[in-house]
């Protein structure tokens, strides 16, 4: 069983997946099955092993990891069981994101410009980072991995994207101007590294520190927790997507085309990930509901 696990992981990694958590889970399952002298996946064993997790969500993750592994193995050996899908009946509930207003984003940028030291690069770095995330919807990991040469005449070249996909992100003229101004400020400090966003000691920004500084900026900008939870940095990406959908041109077919273009721009592998943003776009949800009602009444959608 362990040999099959290693072969499966090698194939998936070759396709661009990192698989840190699935690797641990599959090796654990392989040991569990081997202790029972099983060389093939058996549904009862999968359920028993997955049930050892503490929560329904964890049990679901364990179960689905082996389920995908079983799908792969059965392509060559049908003696493996294919467990029924979603045995534990788990349904992921996404946290409703905070959609930043334009005023809130402007307040965050102004708060960043007030960061200490006043004569250092940090204020300009965080102001430029927040502005870029709001203007492009980049993942924070993508922004932090940007190198200076990735800022091209045609846009930003995103090399360290999710699933190891590379894409070109066009920039609005205002974003080009803003990044260009930041680069001049960066060059004036005589910093030698090639990461785009760096600290005053010429080191690339790291996520944990950015997260900490962002919490400080939220407080300085007057934003407060909602339902006991602070707005998140990643929700600048949600905000970008929602505003883009709200700006969709009229006409059902053109909105569909706009959705596809947005999925490509955001770097989504599956367009269903983009459809989720409709849940936080009341205007488009209302449009969809009206169309569904007309369809049910015998009219055109």
Catalytic-role residue among 12, 27, 162, 215: 162
Residue 9 sits at the vertex; the CA angle it makes with 20 and 54, to the nearest 5 degrees, is 45
CA dihedral 182, 184, 185, 189 (to 10 degrees): 140
Identify whether the C-beta of residue 125 lies closer than 8 Å to the C-beta of residue 198: yes
Non-local (6+) Cβ contacts of 78 within 8 A are none
Q: Is 139 a catalytic residue?
A: yes
Q: Is 162 a catalytic residue?
A: yes
Joined together, the tokens standing for residue 17 give 């997946």
Joined together, the tokens standing for residue 211 give 């997260």
Q: Is 234 a catalytic residue?
A: yes
Q: Is 277 a catalytic residue?
A: yes
Task: State how far the Cα of 229 lies from the Cα of 215, in Å rounded to an integer.
Answer: 11
Catalytic-role residue among 59, 139, 186, 238: 139
Catalytic-role residue among 60, 80, 98, 268: 268
Identify whether the C-beta of residue 150 lies closer than 8 Å to the C-beta of residue 156: yes
Non-local (6+) Cβ contacts of 172 within 8 A are 135
Burial (CB < 10 A; 0-12, 13-18, 19+), residue 198, is: buried
Smallest CA-to-CA distance from 161 within 181, 180, 184, 138 is with 138
Catalytic-role residue among 60, 145, 237, 238: 237
Task: Find the DSSP H helices in 97-172.
Answer: 102-113, 122-136, 140-144
Task: State how far the Cα of 210 lies from the Cα of 234, in Å rounded to an integer.
Answer: 11
Catalytic-role residue among 12, 234, 243, 258: 234
Q: Which residues carry out catalysis?
A: 139, 162, 234, 237, 268, 277
């Amino acid at each position: 069983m362990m040999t099959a696990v290693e072969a499966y992981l090698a194939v998936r990694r070759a396709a661009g997946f990192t698989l840190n958590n699935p690797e641990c889970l599959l090796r654990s399952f392989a040991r569990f099955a081997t202790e029972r002298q099983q060389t093939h996946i058996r549904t009862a064993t999968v359920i028993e092993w997955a049930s050892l997790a503490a929560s329904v969500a964890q049990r679901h993750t364990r179960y689905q990891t082996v389920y995908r592994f079983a799908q792969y193995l059965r392509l060559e050996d049908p003696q493996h069981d294919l467990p029924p899908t979603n045995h534990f009946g788990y349904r992921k509930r996404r946290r409703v994101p905070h959609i930043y207003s334009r005023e809130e984003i402007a307040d965050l940028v102004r708060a960043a410009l007030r960061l200490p030291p006043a004569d250092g690069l940090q204020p300009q770095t965080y102001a430029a980072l927040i502005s870029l995330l709001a203007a492009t919807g980049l993942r924070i990991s993508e922004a932090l991995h940007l190198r200076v040469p990735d800022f091209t005449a045609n846009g930003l070249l995103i090399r360290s994207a999710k699933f190891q996909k590379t894409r070109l992100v066009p920039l609005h003229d205002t974003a080009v101007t803003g990044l260009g101004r930041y680069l001049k400020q960066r060059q004036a400090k005589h910093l030698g590294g090639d990461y785009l966003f760096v600290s005053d000691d010429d080191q690339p920004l790291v996520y944990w520190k950015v997260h900490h500084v962002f919490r400080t900026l939220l407080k300085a900008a007057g934003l407060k927790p909602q339902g006991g939870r602070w707005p998140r940095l990643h929700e600048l990406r949600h905000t970008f997507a929602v505003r883009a959908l709200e700006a969709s041109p009229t006409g059902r077919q053109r909105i569909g085309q706009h959705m596809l273009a947005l999925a490509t721009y955001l770097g989504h592998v599956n367009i269903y990930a983009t459809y989720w943003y409709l849940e936080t776009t009341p205007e488009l949800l209302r449009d969809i509901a009206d169309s569904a009602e007309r369809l049910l009444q015998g009219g055109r959608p």
